[in-house]
Amino acid sequence: MIKKIDQIRNIGLIGHSGCGKTSLAEAILFNSKSTNRLGRVDDGNSIMDFEPEEIKRKASLSTAFHPYKWKSREFNLVDTPGENDFLSDTKICLQAAEGAVVVIDAVDSIKIGTEKVWAFSDEYNLPRLIVINKLDRERADFYKVLEEIESTFSVKVTPLYLPIGAERDFTGVVDLIRLKANLYKNDGTGSFKEGEIPDSMAEIVDKWRENMVENIVEANDDIMEKYLDEQELTPKEIEDTFIEGMKSGIVLPVIPGSATLNIGVKQLLDIIDQSLPFPIERGKVKGHKVDSQEEVEFDVVDESPFSALIFKTLADPFAGKLTLFKVMSGKIDSESTIFNSKKKVKERLGQLLLIEGKKQTPINTASAGNIAAVAKLKETTTGDTFCQGDNPIVFRLAEPFPPTISFAIEATEKENEDKVYSSLARLVEEDPTLKVDRDQSTSEIILSGTGQIHLENTKDKLRRKFGVEINLKTPKVPYRETIRNTREKIIYRHKKQSGGRGQFAEVHFDISPLKRGEGFVFDEALTGMNVPRNFVPAVEKGIIETMRSGVLAGYPAVDLKIRFYDGKSHEVDSSEMAFKIAASMCFKKAVQEATPILLEPIMSMEITVPEDVMGDTIGDLNGRRGRVLGMDSDGKYQIIKAEVPMAEVLRYSLDLTSITGGRGSFQMKQSHYEEVPPQLTEKIVAASKEEGR
C-alpha cells in the first residue's frame, strides 16, 4: 500500500468575494518558490486570476489550480470564486479537495458568501482551518472576528497565533504553542525572525494559550488527564494533539495574517502540511454501479482500480475542450484508453496535463488523489466518470445551482446568429450553470444564469473567445390568450370573385372555453353533405395556424374548443385554401365574441432570507402581485413560499440582492397560467400593437 506521505493533497481556498483568497494563493505560491514574484490582484498580474474578465473585475470568476511543494510534500491549490454568481463552480470544484482554508476579511468579517461556502464544507465533511486576513487594514479587528465566527457557525475556534500590532502596525504573530514572537520584515518577502513576546501582550497571550490548550486536549484522553492533573505539556505534545484534533474535527484552528504583506503565510503553510488530511485519510471513495444504485467503493491508492471524476471543462477556441478530473483511485498514464461509465463509451486519452494557473505542463502519470487534465475528448462532459471497463463505477457530481435570471439575446450582426448558438453550446459545456433555450412562443433565444454578473461575463467570453457580439435584453413574457365565455352559431363566409375561378367557403362554429392546461380541442360534428369531408383538415389547419398568433394581442391561444358543425361549399369555387381562410376568419370572429382574455405565467418561488429582512421581502412580494403560501425556518433564515407573476420577477435576482444586502437567495420555476387583471391587459394589448404583433 502507498505511504500517505507520498500522496498529493488538494487544498480549497474558500471565502466571500474580496476577502483575499487569490492574494493568499499568490503568497503561498511565492513562499513555496512555485513563483518568483508576489502577484497582485489589484495590479492585474495575478497568476490565479488570469482571464481578462477576472483582471477587469479584480475578482475570481472561475476556479483556478496550481501545484506547490512545501517541505518536500506536494499540494494542489484550488482557488475558488467567492462571488455569489459563481458559487456553483466553487461547490463543484470543492469535491476535488481534501481540506479547506476559509479566508475571512478582518475588516468586513463574515458575509453571506462565507456562510455559503462554509455550508459546502459541511456538506462534504471537509476539515478546515481559518485565516483572518487583511489585518493590516484600517478597522481590522482580529478578536471581533473570532467572536463572529463562533456565533455565526456555532463552533469553538482555536487561534494558534495572535497578531502583533493592529492595522498599519501589524508586524507579526505570536506562536501560542512555542510561545515565541515571529517578527516580519516590512518588505513582502515573508522573512521573519523569532523573538520574545512583547511585554504588552503577556496577559492576552496567557488567556488565549489557555484557551488553545483547553480546546486541543479534548482530542486525546491521556493528554486531557495530564492537563487536568496540572502537569506541564510539552510543545510537541500540544502539537501532536492539535494535529489529532484537527483531523477529527474537534479543533478548528485560526491563523492571523496579511496576504499582501506576506505575514503569517509560512505559518499557514506549516499548519496545512501538519493538519489537513491526505486523500487516503478521507476514507474509501464511494460510487454506484453503472445500471443500478448498488454501492461500489475503492481505496484511494495507486494499486486500486482506476477511477476519476470529471468536475470541470474549459472551452478554448484554439486548443479545443480541456477536461479536468480528480483521480479518485488507482492511476492513469498518458495515451491510455479508459471507459466513460456515464456515457458508456471508451475514450482515448492523449497527453495528460498538470494545470498551473493558465499554463498546462505535460505529465506522464496521474496518481490517486491528483488533479489532471486532458484535451480534445469527444464524448466526455462535466459530471462524467472515468474508470476501467472491468471495474466500472459512477460518481455523482454536485448539482449546480438553478438559474435565477434570464435575458433574451440577439447577435449584433444578423449573419452571426448561427455562430451565437454554436458558441454558446461550447460555453455551456464549460459552465453547467448556463442554460440556453429557444422560447417557441416568442421566438427568442433565452440565456439563463445565476446572476447579472454571470451573464455579462458570458457575453464578454463570447466576444473574446469566439468573436461573437450579443445584446442582452429583458425577455418577453410568454403570455397566452383564451376566452371566458361560450358562443354558438358563429358563421363566416369567404367569397372572392375576381375573374376566373372564384373562392367560396362557409363555416359554422361553436366556441367554448376549456380548463387551464387542456390546450385545444377540435370537434368535427358535421352532418349531411353541406361540406365535403376532405375539407375538414384544411379547416382545422386554418384554426391552428391562427391560434399561434392569437387574436387579442398576438400571443398563442389556448384552452378552448371549436365545434365545427356545419357550413356550405361550392362544387367549383370551393378549395382547401378557401376553407382554411374561412376557418381562420371565423375563429377570430368567434374569439372576439367570446370575451377574449390574457393569461400570464405564474412562478412558484422559494425565497430564503435572514429573519430581519423577512418583512421587507414579503412586502415587496405583495407589491409584485405575489401570494405568500407559507413559511419555514432554516436556522437563522426564513424560507418564504410564494406564487408571483413572471412579469413581476424578470429581474428579481437584482432586486432581492438590494433588499437583503446580498444575503438572500431564491429558486423558482413556472407553475401555471392565470388571467391577467383587466387594467394590465389593456396595457399589454396596447404595447403589442405598438410592436406590431
Residue 492 binned pLDDT confidence (cut-offs 50, 70, 90)? very high
With the C-alpha atoms ordered 226, 228, 232, 238, is the resulting torsion angle positive or negative? positive
Instruction: Report in angstroms the alpha-carbon separations of 56 from 21, 45, 49, 472.
Output: 17, 11, 10, 20
Residue 402 binned pLDDT confidence (cut-offs 50, 70, 90)? confident
When computed from its CA atoms, the radius of gyration of the chain, rounded to whole angstroms, is 33
Residue 499 binned pLDDT confidence (cut-offs 50, 70, 90)? low
pLDDT on residue 667: 86
- 442, pLDDT greater than 80: no
Q: Which of 209, 273, 207, 205 is nearest to 238 (CA)?
A: 209
Instruction: Work out the mean pLDDT of the chain and round it to a whole number.
Output: 92
Q: Which of 88, 113, 92 is nearest to 21 (CA)?
A: 113
pLDDT on residue 159: 96
Residue 632 in grid coordinates: 419555514
506: exposed, middle or buried (Cβ count in 10 Å: 0-12, 13-18, 19+): buried
Paired residues of 133 in beta bridges: 105
Per-residue pLDDT of 631-686, as tens digits, reads 998 877 899 999 999 999 998 988 998 999 888 888 888 899 999 999 999 999 99
Paired residues of 601 in beta bridges: 673
Q: Give the CA angle between residues 147, 151, 156 to the nearest 5°.
A: 75
Cβ atoms 579, 495 nearer than 8 A = no
Residue 287 in grid coordinates: 460510487
Domains, the chain, in order of start with CATH, read 7-278 (3.40.50.300), 306-387 (2.40.30.10), 408-473 (3.30.70.870), 481-594 (3.30.230.10), 599-691 (3.30.70.240)
Classified as helix, coil or strand, 98 is: coil
pLDDT on residue 1: 33
- 315, pLDDT greater than 80: no
Q: What is the DSSP letter of 201?
A: G
Residues in the chain, total: 693
Residue 259 in grid coordinates: 496576504
Cβ atoms 212, 255 nearer than 8 A = no
Q: What is the DSSP letter of 466?
A: H
Region 474-484: mean pLDDT is 93
Residue 3 binned pLDDT confidence (cut-offs 50, 70, 90)? very low
Per-residue pLDDT of 558-567, as tens digits, reads 999 999 999 9
pLDDT on residue 76: 97
Per-residue pLDDT of 615-631, as tens digits, reads 999 999 999 999 999 99
Q: What is the DSSP letter of 80?
A: -
Q: Which of 3, 1, 5 is nearest to 72 (CA)?
A: 5
Instruction: Report in angstroms the alpha-carbon separations of 114 from 21, 128, 666.
Output: 12, 13, 18
Phi, psi values for residue 147, rounded to 5°:
-60, -40
pLDDT on residue 640: 97
Phi, psi values for residue 386, rounded to 5°:
-95, 145
Per-residue pLDDT of 198-211, as tens digits, reads 999 999 999 999 99
Region 448-470: mean pLDDT is 90
pLDDT on residue 317: 65
Beta strands in 434-539 (DSSP E): 435-439, 444-449, 470-473, 480-483, 487-496, 503-513, 520-524
- 404, pLDDT greater than 90: no
Per-residue pLDDT of 228-275, as tens digits, reads 988 888 888 988 898 888 887 888 999 999 999 999 999 999 999 998
Residue 179 binned pLDDT confidence (cut-offs 50, 70, 90)? very high
pLDDT on residue 55: 85
Higher pLDDT, 181 or 528: 181
Classified as helix, coil or strand, 68 is: strand
Higher pLDDT, 424 or 439: 424
Higher pLDDT, 51 or 623: 623
Instruction: Report in angstroms the alpha-carbon separations of 357 from 49, 110, 645.
Output: 8, 28, 44
The proportion of the chain whose per-residue pLDDT surpasses 90, expressed as a percent, equals 72
Dist. CA 275–CA 254, nearest whole Å: 12
Higher pLDDT, 692 or 295: 295
pLDDT on residue 2: 36
Dist. CA 250–CA 568, nearest whole Å: 88
The proportion of the chain whose per-residue pLDDT surpasses 70, expressed as a percent, equals 98
Region 14-40: mean pLDDT is 93
Residue 693 binned pLDDT confidence (cut-offs 50, 70, 90)? low
Per-residue pLDDT of 79-125, as tens digits, reads 999 988 899 999 999 999 999 999 999 999 998 889 999 999 999 99
Higher pLDDT, 487 or 634: 487
pLDDT on residue 565: 96
Dist. CA 573–CA 552, nearest whole Å: 31
